[in-house]
DNA sequence: AAAGTATGCTACTAAATATGTAGCGTCAAT
DNA sequence: ATTGACGCTACATATTTAGTAGCATACTTT
């Protein structure tokens, strides 16, 4: 599945996540993402633009309609993740 | 969002994807994932087990109920991804 | 009992990728 | 003309992954 390979890269998922909340300039996006290095940020943005998921508009980077559709899929994931996180704490996982 | 950081690592998403289709032994899982190096495979499996998403049972590695719930979220993503992929071809993206 | 086979997994080096910092070229406002 | 913000590149360093070999355990076959 192609999409998984694309999303399964550092920052890609996070970028979509951030952009789904609000458009942002290159620099703003950086600081929102723990000051990810501009090298990688630009790499990912290129890919995402190439895939028609992200676009660079007047107000900075933004999701395309397709990008929004995809990000929407993760919105439901958000709710689920919160419950999941709670369960994790309760069961007190000791890992690694 | 914690989950995104976990999933946004190489192979993690792919592993969940593969395991959602069928349980697999360590070695089988490797060959299903383009012969990912055992080093990383084990790393990811440790994490996923620590997070209560994956478990090592009699028949090899398998998703827990929570893991399945999560993977289910991506099932709908699959259908979406296929349409998306078609659109990509139609619009003939030239990227990078 | 010995030998074969499959399991999960570790060790170790080379290659790929990300980080971190500096700064360029462009534009708009002061 | 200087200042500030923009998108983005360069490049050395650090981190992560790939790739291969092999160990320890178990179970089967001979």
Higher pLDDT, A4 or B63: B63
**Rounded distance between C-alpha atoms, residue B88 and residue B18, angstroms:** 24
Query: pLDDT tens across B26-47, in order?
Result: 999 999 999 999 999 999 999 9
Q: CA-based angle B23:B29:B31, to the nearest 5? A: 140
Percent of chain B with pLDDT over 70: 92
* A2, pLDDT greater than 80: no
pLDDT grade for B85, boundaries at 50, 70 and 90:
confident
Find the range with the poorest average confidence among A4-13, B1-10, B36-45: B1-10
Instruction: Identify the residues numbered 10 to 49 in chain B whose C-beta atom is closer than 7 Å to any atom of strand C.
Output: 25-28, 37-39, 42, 45
Architecture, CATH, for domain A8-91: Orthogonal Bundle (1.10)
DSSP states of A52-69:
TSEEEETTEEEE-HHHHH
pLDDT at B5: 79
Options 1.10.10.10, 1.10.3720.10, 3.30.413.10, 1.20.1640.10; CATH of B9-91: 1.10.10.10
More confident residue, B93 or A10: A10
Q: Is the pLDDT of residue A36 over 60?
A: yes
The pLDDT, as a whole number, for residue B96 is 39
pLDDT of residue A80: 82
Rounded-to-integer distance, Cα B71 and Cα B94, Å: 31
**Which of B49, B20, B51 is closest to A4 using CA atoms?**
B20
> H or E segment at A70?
helix A65-91
Which residues in chain B have Cβ-Cβ distances shorter than 8 Å to A13? Answer: 4, 7-8
Given a cut of 60, whether residue B95 has pLDDT beyond it is no
Interface of B with A in 4-63 (CB under 8 A): 4-5, 7-14, 17, 46-47, 49-52
Q: In the prediction, which pLDDT does A96 show?
A: 39
Residue B46 confidence (pLDDT): 96
> Would you call A93 and B50 a contact, using CB atoms and an 8 Å cutoff?
yes
CB contact under 8 A, B14 and A5: yes
């Amino acid at each position: 599945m192609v999409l998984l390979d694309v999303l399964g890269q550092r920052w890609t998922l996070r970028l979509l996540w951030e952009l789904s909340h609000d458009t942002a300039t290159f620099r703003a996006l950086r600081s929102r993402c723990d000051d990810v290095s501009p090298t990688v940020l630009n790499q990912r943005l290129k890919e995402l633009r190439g895939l028609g998921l992200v676009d660079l508009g007047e107000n900075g980077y933004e999701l395309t309609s397709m990008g929004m559709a995809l990000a929407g899929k993760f919105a439901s994931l958000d709710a689920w993740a919160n419950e999941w996180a709670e369960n994790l704490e309760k069961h007190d996982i000791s890992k690694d």
